[in-house]
Chains A and B, each alone.
Chain A
Amino acid sequence: EAGVAQSPRYKIIEKRQSVAFWCNPISGHATLYWYQQILGQGPKLLIQFQNNGVVDDSQLPKDRFSAERLKGVDSTLKIQPAKLEDSAVYLCASSYTGGRTGELFFGEGSRLTVL
């Protein structure tokens, strides 16, 4: 079974530039998550999708971050314009909805450095 795919793995940009991350979840997983993990902190949920609908985006900085999952499969996360404090690992995860466990399957992450 293929895992969660993310790209790019690494990205270096200057502040005020834009960047986009892509995620392809495990086939059949209806729920998709984007997390931001800043060094020394726990993962912070940015947005959660159920199919192509948004379940939770309460911690997404909507003035600069946007995310979409148009066909209920893959997803993109965009930052425009980037700030220095956006330097982090952006993790995508998916889960199968229907099971009690709700185990998350993660991609390898996209490490963003903003200079």
Chain B
Amino acid sequence: ILNVEQSPQSLHVQEGDSTNFTCSFPSSNFYALHWYRWETAKSPEALFVMTLNGDEKKKGRISATLNTKEGYSYLYIKGSQPEDSATYLCASSNAGNNRKLIWGLGTSLAVNP
């Protein structure tokens, strides 16, 4: 994988459903993996920055895992709420190239009340 790929592109769930997204990234010379949430008309907000293989991070109902050897990260939202509606972006960097972040296209989540 040369680019950062996110799936699905968009997702519609009902309030209370749990959901997850995938981010695939180049595993060669991995440095860091970022997850951001971008709500409409607001600024993108960092959720997690992960660097270690096998790492798991949690913030409230949102958690993320990281597999640097196979080049993927999962973002989980437990019990989705309407306020979780946003675009979720991931970006990865490698140790070379000035640790420049390469961004995915995002997963657009809509939570219906």
Contact = CB atoms under 8 A, between A and B. Distances in A.
Interface residues of B, number: 23
Contact of B103 (A3, A42, A55, A109): A42
A71 interface: no
Contact of B34 (A55, A91, A103): A103
Contacts of A105: 46
Given A3-B43, A43-B103, A108-B42, A102 B98 contact: no
Interface of B: 4, 32, 34, 36, 41-46, 49, 51, 89, 91, 93, 98-101, 103-106
Given A41-B105, A42-B91, A42-B104, 11 more contacts: A42-B106, A56-B98, A91-B44, A93-B44, A102-B49, A102-B99, A104-B44, A104-B101, A106-B44, A107-B43, A108-B41
